[in-house]
Amino acid sequence: MMFGVRGRRWARIALATVAGSALALGAAAPAAAEEPATGQAKSVGGSVKLMLEGAPKSVGQLALKIDGKLVPAFCIDYHTAVAIDGRYKEGTWDESQVKNLGKVQWVLTHGYPNADPGKLLAAAGVDLPEQIDTKRRDTLLYFGTQTAIWRFSDGVTLGDWVPGRDLLNKQQYDVVKKVHDHLVDKATDQPEPRAELSVDPASAKAAVGDKAGPFTVKGPAGEITVAAEGGAAVDAEGRPVTTTTNGGQFWLTATGPGAVKVTLSAQDSVSFGRVFLFTGQRAAQKLILGGSTGATVTAGAEATFIAAPSSPTPSPSSPSPSPSASTPAESPSPSAPAESPAPSTSPAGNGSDLPLTGSPIAAAGAAGVLLLAVGAIALLVVRRRKVRFTA
């Protein structure tokens, strides 16, 4: 059977509600993750000979060609040969099964090519010989960084310069060794960079005058910009925050009630510290990206601020005047009758002897009459109404 006109109208309303709910759920679903980046391993620059594990060893510079761009890369698998021109695919630290990648990430952050060359050399206590040009300087910084990475990923030791072993000349070798020593000595664990950018939590609440948060950022390595609208982003001490890094935290503040929105952006989704694994059938060297590339990624969060509750101000109480000891109290006049107590307008408690009088009784009576009238009208409508069905 089919419902009448009124039944069909309610069916359409229910269908529209279900459809709207489905659309809302679809809009709230997370976007599909992007495909992992891929690249080809390339040999770039020249090679040098260093004392590694007590023996002279020739090593070369590596890069990954990603979307036509050569990005510096480093070996994290010393005892396995690299697949030059082989296809590599972006993976995770866990998939690589390489140890100490948290410290490797610190080395990449503070080593070549991400650190300022002059500051890195100064921190390592290196006085660069004048005859070394910029290209050669970068080569030495690369191998200082690579040997520090091997110290953590494979336990490989870089030895001192030894004469007669056909090594890199002593001046240049000392640059590599001092950069290596500095990076190894200072390294601390850093979080794994991610290809996507996220903020946790996505929303928070606080009273005006308080800080909402903390908000924790996870994303690519490198600088992440923080832009707040309607308020300010601050650190734990209340200092303004305009940039942060992977694993960083910030709070939001406001000067009045309302919403404060914050937008974060990172320029390169495929950042240094991302691991790349060979896709072929044979075993091949595992690589870690030294530079960054890819698209800009963004994320956002929001905080709602409510007015701080105001503290009630107690009203000052006036002390009752004390009767004067020198003035005798007047006795009531026998001719003045005692005043009758005013009728109570509050309902009597259980067991009270005071009658319930005044406006509450009148209001109750009026409400009762109104309920009776509504009931009578409803009964009349029900009797006259007929529900039609069509077969």
Rounded to whole angstroms, the maximal C-alpha distance in the chain is: 135
- For position 99, what pLDDT does the model report? 97
Domain ranges, residue 44:
38-186
Interacting residues of 76 by C-beta distance below 8 A, sequence separation 6+:
96, 98, 101, 104, 149, 153, 154, 275, 286, 287, 288
The tens digit of pLDDT for each residue in 135-186 reads 999 999 999 999 999 999 999 999 999 999 999 999 999 999 999 999 999 9
**φ/ψ (deg, to 5) at 351:** 85, 5
Give dist(CA 152, CA 273) in Å, integer: 14
- For position 382, what pLDDT does the model report? 42
Q: Please provide the distance, in angstroms rounded to a whole number, between the alpha carbons at the two ends of the chain.
A: 5
178 with 113, same domain? yes
157 with 245, same domain? no
Angle between helices 170-186 and 101-110 (to 10 degrees): 120
Percent of the chain with pLDDT over 90: 67
Instruction: Fill in the DSSP letter of residue 233.
Output: E
52 pLDDT exceeds 90? yes
Give the other-Cβ count within 10 Å of 300's Cβ.
Answer: 16
Instruction: Report residue 374 as tokens.
Output: 């509504």
323 pLDDT exceeds 80? no
- For position 90, what pLDDT does the model report? 97
Note whether residue 352 is domain-resident: no
Let me know: does 262 contact 226? Beta carbons within 8 Å.
yes
Angle between helices 134-153 and 170-186 (to 10 degrees): 50
Give dist(CA 196, CA 161) in Å, integer: 43
- For position 370, what pLDDT does the model report? 54
47 with 176, same domain? yes
Length of the chain: 391
Note whether residue 235 is domain-resident: yes
356 pLDDT exceeds 60? no
Interacting residues of 57 by C-beta distance below 8 A, sequence separation 6+:
49, 50, 51
Rounded to the nearest integer, the mean pLDDT of the chain is: 81
Cis upstream peptide for 334 (omega within 30°): no
42 with 179, same domain? yes
177 with 218, same domain? no
Instruction: Fill in the DSSP letter of residue 156.
Output: P
- For position 375, what pLDDT does the model report? 53
126 with 235, same domain? no
The position carrying tokens 């290809």 is: 195
The tens digit of pLDDT for each residue in 201-237 reads 999 999 999 999 999 999 999 999 999 999 999 999 9
Query: Total domain count for the chain?
Result: 2
CATH number of 212's domain: 2.60.40.10
116 with 242, same domain? no
**pTM to 2 decimal places:** 0.70
Give dist(CA 44, CA 84) in Å, integer: 11
- For position 315, what pLDDT does the model report? 57
Note whether residue 234 is domain-resident: yes
